Structure 1
Amino acid sequence: MPYVKETLAPGEEYLYRAHFNWTYDVQSWFWLAFSAIPAGMWVYSAARDYFAHNPYGHMFLFVAGAAFMLGLVICLRRYVHKWTTVIAVTSVRLILKTGMVARTSHEVMLDEIEEVLVEQTFLGRLLGYGTLKVRGTGAAVVEFPVVGGPMRVRREIETALITARGLAKQRA
């Protein structure tokens, strides 16, 4: 969240931050556990001295190690994406920031938002996750990654939007 705090304009307030759903973590750990199966099979077989005289033992060791490394990379990549993605609502803007070294930022002014679309599958409704699409004036469409509690995120955006538009009307 340092990105949001660094970019706040004078008088702008941080209101809400959306989070990834717990299923994102489960998927990450699934890939690591799934890739550990061949490695576990190799350790078990090596402990039984099965591959000691088998010419395919070294090839299986290589495949098991490669599968485990691939699962580890997938898991770490997903966690880095989770840790470096910020979805925030301020009193003036809606912010989606991704990336650690190379940063990509999508910011939509609240008074330019035309609609907030929530997409949830049946499973998403049961487990509490979904995606958001925010359409702004012109051709601006910001697609958010899978978030936990998309209806709450939508409510927070719309509450900030109503508040921002109310303040704009009072100033005029």
Structure 2
Amino acid sequence: MTYIDKHLIPGEAVTYQTKLHWHVMFWHVTFGVISMLAGIAILTGAWSSKHGKGDSSGVMIWLGLLCFAIAAYLVVFGVLKRRATEIAVTNKRVIVKVGLATRRTIELLLPRIESISVEEPALGRVLGYGTVTIRGTGGTPEVFQNIYHPLEFREQVQKQIEGERRSG
């Protein structure tokens, strides 16, 4: 069960969920693959020197294993960074939870939202990500970067605000 599912209030239902775009883990995975390839090259060199005249194969094996450990760390960190963020629109509020070990949560009631803006860089328009800024009444703007399909997120928030106005 997700954080959002656990913290719904009575009569509240999730109408839209999104997440961070996959590009947030691009560099983690890229450097992880590079580190893994370096580890393979080092271990291959260690294996060659073990069967040849070299005597540094022990150090090379440890260095190759270190490269594999770094690769695993980078990839896992990138995946967790993406998966540890939950973003939802309900019929009553917008809920955002970021982080695992340290957590930041933002819950904005729909009637208290003054504006919602979207910024998409050129690459973001092509790949489908952007920055969403939500301004609440009397509050500081809340900025959420690298949101997957930010225009759809804004549209869903606006639909729920309009539905709240009609029913209220």
Which TM-score applies when normalising by structure 2?
0.84
SS in 2 for 1:77: helix
Q: CA–CA distance in 1 between the matches of 2:51 and 2:63?
A: 14
| Cα contact 1:51–1:57 (8 A) shared by 2 | no
Query: Do the aligned partners of residues 47 and 80 (structure 1) sit closer, same or farther apart at CA in structure 2, a change above 3 Å counting?
Result: same
Which TM-score applies when normalising by structure 1?
0.83
> Could you tell me which residue of structure 2 aligns to residue 108 of structure 1?
108
| Cα contact 1:85–1:97 (8 A) shared by 2 | yes
Amino acid at match of 1:154: R
> Could you tell me which residue of structure 2 aligns to residue 86 of structure 1?
86
Larger deviation, residues 1-10 vs 117-126:
1-10
Query: Do the aligned partners of residues 117 and 50 (structure 1) sit closer, same or farther apart at CA in structure 2, a change above 3 Å counting?
Result: farther
What displacement does 1:156 show? 0.9
> Could you tell me which residue of structure 1 aligns to residue 13 of structure 2?
13
Q: CA–CA distance in 2 between the matches of 1:18 and 1:142?
A: 16
> Could you tell me which residue of structure 1 aligns to residue 4 of structure 2?
4
> Could you tell me which residue of structure 2 aligns to residue 95 of structure 1?
95
Larger deviation, residues 115-124 vs 139-148:
139-148
| Cα contact 1:35–1:68 (8 A) shared by 2 | yes
> Could you tell me which residue of structure 2 aligns to residue 44 of structure 1?
44
| Cα contact 2:91–2:164 (8 A) shared by 1 | yes
What displacement does 1:50 show? 7.0
> Could you tell me which residue of structure 1 aligns to residue 65 of structure 2?
65
> Could you tell me which residue of structure 2 aligns to residue 156 of structure 1?
156
Query: Do the aligned partners of residues 88 and 51 (structure 1) sit closer, same or farther apart at CA in structure 2, a change above 3 Å counting?
Result: farther
What displacement does 1:119 show? 1.7
**Unaligned runs of at least 5 residues, structure 1:** none
Query: Do the aligned partners of residues 87 and 52 (structure 1) sit closer, same or farther apart at CA in structure 2, a change above 3 Å counting?
Result: farther
Q: CA–CA distance in 2 between the matches of 1:66 and 1:44?
A: 14
Amino acid at match of 2:108: V
Amino acid at match of 1:159: K
> Could you tell me which residue of structure 2 aligns to residue 31 of structure 1?
31
SS in 1 for 2:38: helix
- Aligned: 1:76 with 2:64: no
What displacement does 1:110 show? 1.0
| Cα contact 1:129–1:148 (8 A) shared by 2 | yes
Larger deviation, residues 61-70 vs 47-56:
47-56
Amino acid at match of 1:136: G
Corresponding pairs, count: 168
Q: CA–CA distance in 2 between the matches of 1:123 and 1:16?
A: 24
Larger deviation, residues 128-137 vs 98-107:
98-107
